[in-house]
Structure 1
Amino acid sequence: MALKDLLSFFFGLAMTIALSAAARAETISLVGFGDSLMAGYQLAPEDAFPARLEKALKDKGYDVAISNAGVSGDTTAGGLARIDWSVPDGTKGVILELGANDALRGVPPEETRGNLEAMVKRLKERGIAVLLAGMLAPPNMGGDYAARFNAIYPELAKKYDLPFYPFFLDGVVTEAGLKLEDGMHPNGDGIGVMVERFLPMAEQFITAVQEGE
């Protein structure tokens, strides 16, 4: 091999290695897509779930940025209407958390399921991974409604092979000291509990996103 060809080969090899390393070092862009539980109702922006989760992940060495696309009062119908423009190109994964307001308003579970499924399909069509955060119907909705509503999330997760966190408010919903005065939304301490419990699932999700690139 001529010296010029040899130099060209090693230059090309070095560029390939450098580009590969740069790709591996690229910040993973995620979006927290949901309602007031994601938006951080009555909390400072830095205390909302996406910001606190991003900090917790960075503290563990992950290069990640989590945008907050939570809208207080949003239903699954509202989420479906805005998901295309609320999740920008370049997003690697979405934490999908919606449905609580559907249950509070008595929206038929079949409608909630259809809206969530449509959002999952749209995201997957764009090559965006989805982590589905589950919700449970409030007890006052009755057993029949709860059975139909609560089944939505595990069934969609199974159908579309999604990583699944069963209950977004786990550890908070029954603890008055972890909620605001309205008795519904988490306070700063409540968000801390949610992030702590959610963190292992988030780490698994990020690992899967990285491996899928």
Structure 2
Amino acid sequence: TKRELYREGEKEEMETSYYHYSNSKLDSITNNTDTAKQVFTYDDQNKLVKRVSYGRYEENKDEIDEEETFYYNSENFIIKSVKSTSLVIECKYNKNNQIVQTKSFSTDNPKEIDVTEYQFRALSDKPDTVITKRNGKIQNTLLNKFDAKENTIETAIVFPDKTGRTTKNSLIYDHQNNIVSNITSNNEGKISERIQEIEYQ
């Protein structure tokens, strides 16, 4: 699969990404500069166990930039990932196996904790409210709207200050339910539009 991403009004794409599959699993992601490659490793149960990212620039394109290892519970849901950058992400699920909380921290500073909480609508697998906290204090609240196909058609980030700042993204999809347009706006109006062209094979 080929994906081209560019901004509204620009003729040249910002970046072209190529998604490579093997036995219906994502094997690697490369781009038009042959740098910043990502390689994915699976276990014998087809669970993703490691993601390796390589350098973004020509001089370090063959050097490992970051490794991320994934750990699962008995029901094969990811409960923790550990990055080579010392970042740890822990996940919690509800009785419906929906992720309701992620907690991230650095092993270098484990007391500095970011927590994200997810709230779900009835009979939906996608959260309509996402609350981000740092050390117990709310940083922002994300509100999602969906279409009949459960595609996210609008996101609104609300900041907890007296200005009422809000950042919105309006999303448009193609026939394969992939995003082809993402319009960002704030209280004052439209900021930008990101356009993605996808070639299916």
Query: Normalised by the size of structure 2, how large is the TM-score?
Result: 0.29
Which protein has the bigger helix share? 1
Between structure 1 and structure 2, the one with the greater Rg is 1
Relative contact order (alpha carbons < 8 A, sep ≥ 6): 1 or 2 greater? 1
